[in-house]
Amino acid sequence: MTATWNQPLTLPNGVTLKNRIAMAPMTTYSSELNGDISDQELTYYARRAKSGIGTVITACAYVQPQGAGFAWSIGTESDDRMESLTKLASAIKDNGATAILQIFHAGRQSNSQVLHGGTPVSASDVAFPREGSETPRALTGDEVEETIKAFGEATRRAIEAGFDGVEIHGANTYLIHQFFSPHSNRREDKWGQDRSAFPLAVVAEVKKAVSDYAKTPFIVGYRFSPEENYQPGFTIEEKLKLIDKLADQNLDYLHVSLQQFFDTSYDDASEKSRIERFQEVIAGRVPLMGVGSLNTKHDLDRATASGFAELFAIGRALITDPDWYKKVSENNGEGLLTEIDPDNQVALDIPDPLWDKIMNVKGWFPVKEQAGK
């Protein structure tokens, strides 16, 4: 019988999560300009950690100054961030959840404004296929090696700050994703001849940092996107081959980035969902985390019953209702908040910058209409 989402799960490294629900990594735009965590963010994370969920995965934290993807984001690029990172880990762990720091480099998804006049970097000097995207500078061979080492250093800082683990952000068109993509990686050196080389090198460096610095079992996860919808982009068949390799890297979980949990691929005729296809390749070697519009107990029960994932990430539903887990697990979702009341910011513990975006980006979150407006 398939285990349910509110039961514990022991990861390959022996760490036991109290349940299979994780807060998905979501950008808050609410850190200090230097990359330190803000007081409002600490409150935001602490509130959701104490809701009963097993794990909190933070917003992405950049591993190098040139890796910042947007202003007001979390930094893990320097030992100057140690006090901030320690506060963040404590805010999550002291409220009962496992604390995982997501580490990333934005690559060409950054811009000169965020980088204070600097030029974004990537595998090659090819701009993202979107109007207004800046053309990046291709990293030199030495810089590629330095970037890999920066992921290891970020892992060391996460360990020393008291986090329980890191999630390597290899998804959503950021730098690790860029090295795997034929659109953004046109290199002729070893990093271009084998586009899986950079993702695997980052994993190896992170695992080395864990071996060197962690005194107790430390979680390492990896998030990935299933395919690209522009040309030349990688196909789901290519990504399945990379995930087959990653499943042998002694990771503690893999995390597929999806809009809808049961989405099917748009680049071939398979009727199987993407997550089912990845689970077939992984074949029980490492737990798979799924995500995508899992908003209700019914959604979770259906996802669990599919057998396609062992872990489940919850995103906007946890912002909309910080007590989501308690309501879903204890009351079958009774009283669940499904839209955001514009008068309810304080009660929801949402930082000001994130709140402003929720209120002003139409269609991003369900927002309750106010009478007379």
Residues 179 and 121 sit within 8 Å (Cβ to Cβ)? no
CB atoms within 10 A of CB 372: 4
CB atoms within 10 A of CB 176: 27
Q: How far apart are CA 372 and CA 159, in angstroms?
A: 51
CB atoms within 10 A of CB 342: 14
Residue 334's Cβ-count burial label (10 Å; 0-12, 13-18, 19+) is exposed
Residue 216's Cβ-count burial label (10 Å; 0-12, 13-18, 19+) is exposed
148: its two tokens: 């890999």
Q: Give the residue from 325, 319, 313 showing the smallest Cα distance to 347.
A: 319
Residues 122 and 108 sit within 8 Å (Cβ to Cβ)? yes
CA of 222: how far to CAs of 16, 107, 227, in Å?
A: 18, 17, 15
Q: How far apart are CA 362 and CA 339, in angstroms?
A: 13
Query: What does 181-192 look like in DSSP terms, one character per residue?
Result: -TTT----SHHH
Residues 363 and 39 sit within 8 Å (Cβ to Cβ)? no
Q: Give the residue from 22, 13, 105 showing the smallest Cα distance to 66.
A: 105
Give the residue numbers annotated as catalytic, written as ranges. Answer: 174
Residues 226 and 239 sit within 8 Å (Cβ to Cβ)? yes
Q: How far is CA 240 from the centre of its chain?
A: 19
Residues 186 and 192 sit within 8 Å (Cβ to Cβ)? yes
User: What is the Rg, in whole angstroms, of the alpha carbon atoms belonging to the chain?
Assistant: 20
